[in-house]
Structure 1
Amino acid sequence: MTDLSAFPTAVKWPAHHPDRIQLYSFPTPNGVKISAVLEELGLRYEAHRVDIMANETWTPDFLSLNPNGKIPAIVDPDGPGRQPIALFESGAILLYLAEKTGRLLPADSARRYETIQWLFFQTVAVGPMFGQLGFFCKFAGKAIEDKRPLDRFLGETKRLLGVLDTRLAAGKWIMGDEYTIADISLFGWVRILLGMYGARELVDFDSLEHVPAWLERGLARPAVARGLEIPA
């Protein structure tokens, strides 16, 4: 299917290549997961910048795709049964694209579920905790005199980094020698601690034994480097 007229997002963000996966995103830690995995998989896609700074996720057009008003979201014109499918939530999209291509997710059932549990570790723990730390150490939360919220999220962020560090002691990637969507889901969130949040010293990042080298390996992958800049 190349007719995307049933999707209001195609009106606000017209598709020049309607036969390709349509990505609606912004270069946040959650957004770059999807551009990075699309680049890694070599799938044909078209990226649309949804400006979260201008509240474009709260327009009726975008809400028709994701009623939760968050990027990223996709429309795949060639979904299951050759029918179009629209998806939101970055973890769900990563799983869908891995299963669509049979890549970045182990074929062995036990290892597949082990990978999925680490994907969920990112979506339910790392993302929310790191994001809250950023709010309190970089953005409006800085003005709050009561430092207990900052201390809470800082302590939890350091604990989660420790969990990740322990896991990586067993191999170069989350799943040992196998690079998966679990790794891709985490790069952007660890990266933002050192960049935008300026929290490298705050979280004692350089005291970690394995996470820094893992992050460096991940960011050095050409697909990840390209994905971090998409959408421009």
Structure 2
Amino acid sequence: MIELHYWPTPNGHKITLFLEETGLPYVIKPVNIGKGEQFEPAYLKISPNNRMPAIVDTAPTDGGASISVFESGAILQYLAEKTGRFLPADVRGRTTVMEWLFWQVGGLGPMLGQNHHFNRYAPEKIPYAIDRYLRETKRLYGVLDQRLQGRDFIAGTEYSIADMAAYPWTVSHENQGIDLADYPQVQRWFAQIRERAATQRAYAIADTVEGRVDISKDDEARHHLFGR
């Protein structure tokens, strides 16, 4: 059984996308980041970087004690290796998927996250920061658009953990100042993933989580997310 410590953010959605695609048994354990639950000692034991998501696998393949994994990219890799799904076994295919997984966790996520912060949540509008992260967001969408030329998915013809990592960060493209029509290959790829039954199930989970707030209007949530 996979215990998924989760909140409905792009990084949280990555893991539910995988779990819904594979049917691997799991249970949601909400971590209300707006209430500061990511700083609780019990959670820090499995996610010492006080970030979400994290998992605990109570039945690892080696038959030993439970294994905890934090960082969304590491979780996707762990689950792919556990199930033998969405990560090629051959060295070339695997390397390609891992390249683009690292591209997402090192670039697409952080840069789009800063775009969100300075455009929507920063207490003061800083033109330099807004412009800097918007330009970087556009550059990264351009990289992805070029990569998808002639390919169904990021790594080629098969859906992989690279796609699951990148897709949730493009869902809020309008809030990032992005018109997908300017990136036709991304637009095609985005629509293809959005229509997958597992994607729809994964995003429906967000509606079942209680305690969500509008961060821009909730001082407590802003304190826990940006002030600690």
When normalised by structure 1's length, the TM-score is 0.86
Q: Indicate conservation of the 8 Å contact 1:27/1:229, yes or no.
A: no
Cross-structure match for 1:163: 143
Partner of residue 89 from structure 1, selected from 40, 52, 71: 71
Q: Distance in 1 between matches of 2:204 and 2:197?
A: 11
Q: Indicate conservation of the 8 Å contact 1:104/1:180, yes or no.
A: yes
Q: Distance in 2 between matches of 1:230 and 1:33?
A: 12
- Report the 3-state secondary structure (helix = DSSP H, G, I; strand = E; otherwise coil) of the residue aligned with 1:74: strand
Q: Indicate conservation of the 8 Å contact 1:134/1:193, yes or no.
A: no
Q: Indicate conservation of the 8 Å contact 1:218/1:224, yes or no.
A: yes
1:225 shift after superposition? 1.3
Cross-structure match for 2:195: 220
1:80 shift after superposition? 3.9
Q: Indicate conservation of the 8 Å contact 1:129/1:153, yes or no.
A: yes
1:205 shift after superposition? 2.8
Cross-structure match for 1:75: 56
Q: Distance in 2 between matches of 1:60 and 1:80?
A: 28
Cross-structure match for 1:188: 168
- State the number of aligned residues: 206
User: What letter corresponds to residue 210 of structure 1 in structure 2?
Assistant: Q
Q: Say what the alpha-carbon RMSD is for the aligned residues.
A: 1.2
Corresponding position: 1:179 with 2:179: no
Q: Distance in 2 between matches of 1:157 and 1:163?
A: 10
- Render the CA deviation track for 1:100-153: whole Å, top value 9, x for unaligned: 111101121111011000000000000000000001111125x23x30011111
1:82 shift after superposition? 1.1
Structure 1 runs of 4+ off > 6 angstroms? none
1:213 shift after superposition? 1.2
Corresponding position: 1:22 with 2:16: no
Q: Distance in 2 between matches of 1:229 and 1:63?
A: 27
Cross-structure match for 2:113: 131
Cross-structure match for 2:219: none
- Report the 3-state secondary structure (helix = DSSP H, G, I; strand = E; otherwise coil) of the residue aligned with 2:171: helix
Cross-structure match for 1:47: 28
Q: Distance in 2 between matches of 1:88 and 1:205?
A: 31
Q: Distance in 2 between matches of 1:56 and 1:135?
A: 21
Corresponding position: 1:35 with 2:16: yes
- Report the 3-state secondary structure (helix = DSSP H, G, I; strand = E; otherwise coil) of the residue aligned with 1:172: coil
- Report the 3-state secondary structure (helix = DSSP H, G, I; strand = E; otherwise coil) of the residue aligned with 2:178: coil
Cross-structure match for 1:205: 180
Q: Distance in 1 between matches of 2:60 and 2:85?
A: 16
1:170 shift after superposition? 2.1
- Render the CA deviation track for 1:135-186: whole Å, top value 9, x for unaligned: 1111125x23x30011111110000000000010121111221110000001
Unaligned runs of 5+ in 2: 209-228
Unaligned runs of 5+ in 1: 1-19
Identity of aligned residues (%): 43
- Report the 3-state secondary structure (helix = DSSP H, G, I; strand = E; otherwise coil) of the residue aligned with 1:104: coil
Q: Distance in 2 between matches of 1:29 and 1:121?
A: 15
When normalised by structure 2's length, the TM-score is 0.87
Cross-structure match for 2:226: none
